[in-house]
């Protein structure tokens, strides 16, 4: 699928992530904070966000995938890499690239609560509210976008485009009648 128009430039993203970082830092002040980021989509957003969070933050990475068609996530969420994770009595900030149906965030948040986290908040770079199927509270959110499939800044399509420094739409190929 060809790359479409640029939705968010590298500068727009950096500036907004800086604002989110400042808010998070103010909200947690000197409380120890554990970031749990969801591989692989969150990696670039996480790196940018961490620049603003100060030295007292712990970072854990987990993996989650939902299966569906190439550009729409499905109902089933599979979670991996929980083995080492210890979030008992910790304040956790769950970081992901995008809230689409909301299933991934809801599943991971539920799991973290079951593992004894003291609090779980969520932080996403992008939000597609029109696609939501599961009610999930977004504590920190970068940008609200329409129902378009986007790539770049960590977001991929079939493993490609993650390394773009900006976010662009992916154009569906014109259908033959």
Residues contacting 26, CB < 8 A, separation 6+: none
Q: Are 41 and 156 in contact (CB under 8 A)?
A: yes
Residue range at the interface with ligand IMP (CB under 6 A); choices 7-15, 17-25, 29-37, 92-100? 92-100
CA-based torsion, 74, 76, 80, 83: positive or negative: positive
Q: Which does 127 bind (CB under 5 to 8 A by kind): Mg ion, ligand IMP, none?
A: none
Near ligand IMP by CB under 6 A: residue from 21, 102, 142, 152 = 102
100 assigned to active site: yes
Of 56-75, binders to ligand IMP (CB under 6 A) are 66, 73
Residue 150 binds which of ligand IMP, Mg ion, none (CB < 5-8 A, kind-dependent): ligand IMP
Nearer to ligand IMP, 7 or 117 (CB): 7
Partner touching 103 among Mg ion, ligand IMP, none, CB below 5 to 8 Å by kind? ligand IMP
- Residue choice 97, 108, 125, 127 for contact with ligand IMP (CB under 6 A): 97
Match 């989509």 to its residue by tokens. 41
CA distance 100 to 122: 13
**168 forms part of the interface with ligand IMP (CB under 6 A):** no
- Interface residues with ligand IMP (CB under 6 A) are 41, 66, 73, 96-104, 149-151, 155
Active site residues: 100
């Amino acid at each position: 699928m060809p790359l479409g128009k640029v939705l968010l430039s590298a500068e727009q993203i950096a500036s907004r992530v800086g604002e989110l970082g400042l808010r998070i830092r103010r909200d947690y002040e000197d409380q120890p904070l554990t970031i749990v980021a969801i591989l692989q989509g969150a990696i670039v957003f996480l790196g940018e966000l961490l620049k603003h969070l100060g030295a007292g933050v712990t970072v854990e990475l987990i993996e989650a995938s939902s299966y569906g068609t190439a550009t729409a996530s499905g109902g089933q969420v599979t979670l991996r890499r929980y083995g080492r994770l210890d979030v008992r009595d910790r304040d956790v900030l769950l970081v992901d690239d995008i809230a689409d149906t909301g299933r991934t965030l809801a599943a991971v948040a539920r799991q973290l609560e079951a593992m004894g986290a003291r609090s779980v908040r969520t932080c996403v770079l992008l939000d597609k509210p029109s696609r939501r199927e599961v009610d999930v509270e977004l504590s920190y959110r970068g940008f609200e976008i329409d129902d378009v499939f986007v790539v770049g800044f960590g977001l991929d399509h079939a493993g490609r485009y993650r390394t773009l420094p900006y976010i662009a739409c992916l154009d569906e190929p014109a259908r033959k009648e």
